[in-house]
Amino acid sequence: QVQLVESGGGLVQPGGSLRLSCAASGSIFSLGYMGWYRQAPGKQRELVARVSSGGSTNYADSVKGRFTISRDNAKNTLYLQMNSLKPEDTAVYYCNAQNPVFTRVEYWGQGTQVTVSS
């Protein structure tokens, strides 16, 4: 049993910044890949960024250079620093984590709303 809880979303102006957090709890030894997904109204869910247990990262082209994903393994927490936000970044952001042993098993948070608007 693993639980993921996102926080840090809110309303910001274009060009502003937000930092999202995802706290993992429950039966945790370690986690494999962790990532952030987002889903905008009327759109499919998409991968925003992902980080491995060793710290290697991948980003969607649309956010590369603006967003930074990181993890604190000691705290079982995932972060997404979002800078230079654009209206098209508006979406519900979801935290995702991979079971390190049974890699087909994934966990999801409840989502946090990010709205970028003047």
Pairing of strands 112-116, 10-12: parallel
Burial 87-97 (b: 16+ CB within 10 A, else e): eebbbbbbbbb
Q: Is the pLDDT reported for residue 27 higher than 80? A: no
What are the φ and ψ backbone dihedral angles of 38, each rounded to 5 degrees? -140, 155
pLDDT tens column, 47-80: 999 999 888 999 999 999 999 999 998 888 999 9
73-117 pLDDT, tens digit each: 888 899 999 999 999 999 999 999 998 888 899 999 999 999 999
Mean pLDDT across the chain? 94
Structure tokens at 57: 């990262």
